[in-house]
Structure 1
């Protein structure tokens, strides 16, 4: 049975030197992806609510609030900056059979703590490797979705571990930090069921804030229930059941996908497929009478109607968790980017009409393939003359079997954040992230201010 001490020792014993060159490179790409998304999210209403709240609570501090030209405590910076990296639903995802969390939800917290601790880039990469590894191992071995808990229940533990590393906590303090975070902050799955609301995009920021605060408390001597996982009425007893982890320095980062489209994780293959089909067959949306998607059970559950009505779509939060909306708008526009989540586009008659002829079914064979590592999708588009076009996908560009390298990530960065940066600023930021282990963290955050 996994113990809290096992996690704490992994945190203490993992250093930059333990990371392979491939892991270091992959972590830097995760930072670039997250920073680009954050820049594009600065003007959204929900991230501005977080910003206003932070401003009301703190006028200054040691940590950078990205994009705002202000500073705050590491706790509030973790909240603010994670809201930016997460809100657009364009972040990375870890693919496990029973859980799909977003390890990049830990990046804002670990960077804030590293800036506070005046850490080197090497220290930061070690902290991120730990956070990614723990998030992935928990998702794979101890999924919580079916028990009614949200995946940010994993995030708060992973982020606390990464923050503990860059703050330099000793083994006992690290154990306390993980214990406090994991005991006190178990989020309910209702966040992503029924009528989706704006909290969906902010819940992980709250987890990042709580993780950072837990680590700060432990740093200052607070004891926690150090038998968090294994104790009576502890995490395994109440939430996950018994499980074992196999922690290696950062290798789980290779199991993380990059989103090609602005869409929920499980929609990526289906969206890529319907865009390819529309372009291949030069489909006229006005002539479409039906769109049928065969997918795996998790996709049907989360974004296909298993956890609430996905045909009533009125806002961004509902749209990016509705397979009917995403497939309809992607077929019409032959794209699914930030433009497709503007309120006027969501409410437009063409997409509202077309989404109602989308049928989503779970195929047991596709579920088996998903659990074996694919992300399969079969899309049939039927025209008013009876013709049916089909596309079948095993995965998508950005899946761990078809990863996006530096060139592709820089293209994504330019597409999502390019309009907000002068060319010199863009090049300096990319160069700084590529050479992250040769710099201090403050040199990166200075560019993000």
Structure 2
């Protein structure tokens, strides 16, 4: 049975020298993906609500609020910057049979704590390795979705561990930080069921904030339940059930996927497939009689109607968790990016009519293949004249089986940031992240401020 001490020991023992060159490179690519998405989200409504709330609470502070031109405490910076990374639903994901969290939810917290502690880029990478590893191991070995808890229940623990690392906490203090975080902040799955609203995109920011606050309390001597995981009525008893982890120096980062499309994780292969067939056959939406998607259990559950009606789509939060909407919009527009989530696009008759003839079903064989590491999808598009076009996918570009490298990530950065970065600013940001071990964290945050 995994113990709280096991996580605390791991969090405090890992440093930059423990990371392989491949892990270092992968973590830097995760940073680039996260900050690019964060820059793109700066004008969105819910992140602006977070920014306004931070401004109400604090005049200034030592940690940059990305794109705001001012600072805040590490706690509030973690909340704000994580909201930017997460809100557009374009962040990375870790694929496990019973859970699909977003490890980049840790980036805002670890960066803020590292900036506060005046750490180097090397130290930041070590803290991120800790957070990514623990997030992935919890998702794989201790899924909580079917027990009614949201995946950010894992994030508050992984982020607290990563933050403990960059703050330089000793084992006892890290144990307290993890214990406080995991005892007090377990989020409910209702966030992503039924009628979805904008809290879906902010819940992980709340977890990041709570993680940093827990670590700061521990830094200043606050004790938490030392047996969080293994204790009577503790986390394993109440939240997850018994589990074991096998922690490595950040190697789990290689199992993280990059989203090619602005869509919920489980939709990526299906969206890629329907765009392929629409382009190949030059399909017109007005000639489509029906769309049938065979998918795996998790996709059917979360975005195919198992946890609520996915045919009533009125806003962004509902659209990016609706397979019917995503497939309809992708077929019509041959794309699924930020433009497909503008309110006028969501409400337009063409997509609203087409989404209602999208049928989503679970195929047990595809569920088995998903649990073995694929992300399969079988799509049949039937036309008014009876012709049916089929496309089958095992994975998508960005899946760990087909990883995205630096060049494609730079293209994604350009696509999402547009004119938000000057040419010189773009090149400086890229150079800083590519050579993060040669910089201080403050060099990075100055570019984001």
The DSSP-based 3-state class of the residue aligned with 1:359 is: strand
The answer to whether structure 1 residue 50 and structure 2 residue 41 are counterparts is no
Distance 2:14 2:168 in 1: 12
Deviations 1:57-108 (A, max 9, x none): 0011110000000100000000000000000000000000000000000000
CA-CA distance at 1:419 after TM superposition = 2.0
Distance 2:422 2:10 in 1: 41
Give the structure 2 partner of residue 155 of structure 1.
155
Instruction: Give the aligned CA root-mean-square deviation in angstroms.
Output: 0.4
The DSSP-based 3-state class of the residue aligned with 1:391 is: strand
Give the structure 2 partner of residue 214 of structure 1.
214
CA-CA distance at 1:431 after TM superposition = 0.6
CA-CA distance at 1:176 after TM superposition = 0.1
The DSSP-based 3-state class of the residue aligned with 1:289 is: strand
Distance 1:369 1:287 in 2: 32
The answer to whether structure 1 residue 335 and structure 2 residue 362 are counterparts is no
Give the structure 1 partner of residue 277 of structure 2.
277
Give the structure 2 partner of residue 170 of structure 1.
170
Distance 1:98 1:14 in 2: 27
Distance 1:437 1:371 in 2: 36
Distance 1:320 1:99 in 2: 18
Give the structure 1 partner of residue 432 of structure 2.
432
The DSSP-based 3-state class of the residue aligned with 1:85 is: helix
TM-score (norm 2): 1.00
Question: Could you list the runs of 5+ residues in structure 2 that have no partner in the other structure?
Answer: none
Distance 1:37 1:88 in 2: 7
Distance 1:96 1:267 in 2: 15
Distance 1:30 1:60 in 2: 28
Distance 2:164 2:14 in 1: 12
CA-CA distance at 1:425 after TM superposition = 0.5
CA-CA distance at 1:12 after TM superposition = 1.3
TM-score (norm 1): 1.00
The answer to whether structure 1 residue 377 and structure 2 residue 377 are counterparts is yes
Alignment of structure 1 residues 114-263 onto 2, 5 Å: 114-263=114-263
Give the structure 2 partner of residue 386 of structure 1.
386
The answer to whether structure 1 residue 407 and structure 2 residue 407 are counterparts is yes
Deviations 1:395-441 (A, max 9, x none): 00000000000001000011001321110000100110001111000
The DSSP-based 3-state class of the residue aligned with 2:180 is: helix
CA-CA distance at 1:286 after TM superposition = 0.6
The DSSP-based 3-state class of the residue aligned with 1:311 is: coil
Distance 1:390 1:332 in 2: 17
Deviations 1:343-384 (A, max 9, x none): 000000000000000000000000000000000000000000
Distance 2:435 2:418 in 1: 20
Distance 1:150 1:398 in 2: 24
Contact 1:83 1:201 (8 Å CA) reproduced: yes
Q: Which runs of 4+ in 1 moved over 3 A?
A: none
The answer to whether structure 1 residue 286 and structure 2 residue 286 are counterparts is yes
Give the structure 2 partner of residue 367 of structure 1.
367
Give the structure 1 partner of residue 75 of structure 2.
75
Give the structure 2 partner of residue 106 of structure 1.
106
Aligned residues: 449
CA-CA distance at 1:13 after TM superposition = 1.2
Distance 1:11 1:34 in 2: 22
CA-CA distance at 1:124 after TM superposition = 0.2
CA-CA distance at 1:130 after TM superposition = 0.2
The DSSP-based 3-state class of the residue aligned with 1:270 is: helix
Contact 1:418 1:426 (8 Å CA) reproduced: no
CA-CA distance at 1:334 after TM superposition = 0.3
